[in-house]
Chains A and B, each alone.
Chain A
Amino acid sequence: AQSVTQPDIHITVSEGASLELRCNYSYGATPYLFWYVQSPGQGLQLLLKYFSGDTLVQGIKGFEAEFKRSQSSFNLRKPSVHWSDAAEYFCAVDQAGTALIFGKGTTLSVSS
């Protein structure tokens, strides 16, 4: 069965430092992968998506993610974190054009 694992439940990063959030997936076919962000009390906002082609994907708010098929990973990165990036981040894989399977999320805290 398809699954998504986000190994880190909570991460704290200093403002201005770099960030990497980990995501591993289990999926038999070519995966369609997404990263979403959820600010407190809000719905989910799409950060970026990977369908095919270039394995380094650029998203909104300065985020990027790299697809590594050999490692079944789709890690999210940002070179310099801002206090406004504090939120919960979800990785998801598409089940053949229907529902998404989500990881359990990683909460990012930003310290000053």
Chain B
Amino acid sequence: DVKVTQSSRYLVKRTGEKVFLECVQDMDHENMFWYRQDPGLGLRLIYFSYDVKMKEKGDIPEGYSVSREKKERFSLILESASTNQTSMYLCASSFHSLNQPQHFGDGTRLSIL
């Protein structure tokens, strides 16, 4: 089975802190994704990556950056956390071809105080 592991289930940080969310997958997937999930808004794509050191902006990239130094790891960075970034963050991965489903981690519930 595909395993997508997010480093923390719950995280509490303070406004202005630099926050790192880590995601690791074990299926040699080329694609990796970061979404945020908010009630009534569904899942919104923040960034995705096709390959090591490659990244593409999603729908809501403002206030975030990403890093992909190794194929299996995709990090989401909140450069200066703000309260409106309190949310559930979901990481996903997939093969880079048509028709491939995305596999999700269990999510990180991030609270910014």
Binding site for B on A (CB under 8 A): 9, 32, 34, 36, 41-46, 49, 51, 90, 94, 96-100, 102-105
Contact = CB atoms under 8 A, between A and B. Distances in A.
Contact of A42 (B33, B42, B107): B107
B4 A43 contact: yes
Interface residues of B, number: 26
B107 to A, nearest CB: 5
A46 B106 contact: no
Contact of A51 (B48, B99, B102, B104): B99
Nearest to B105: A43
18 contacts: A34-B101, A36-B104, A41-B106, A41-B107, A43-B90, A43-B105, A44-B43, A44-B104, A49-B99, A49-B101, A94-B99, A97-B96, A97-B98, A99-B45, A99-B58, A100-B45, A102-B43, A104-B41
A98 B47 CA distance: 11
Contacts of B41: 104
A96 B107 contact: no
Contacts of A94: 98-99
B32 to A, nearest CB: 11
Interface of B: 4, 31, 33, 40-43, 45, 48, 50, 56, 58, 90, 92, 96-107
Contact of A104 (B42, B100, B101, B107): B42
A87 B25 CA distance: 25
Given A43-B4, A104-B40, A98 B105 contact: no
Contacts of B100: 97
Nearest to A103: B42
A99 B42 contact: no
Contact of A46 (B31, B33, B56, B103): B103
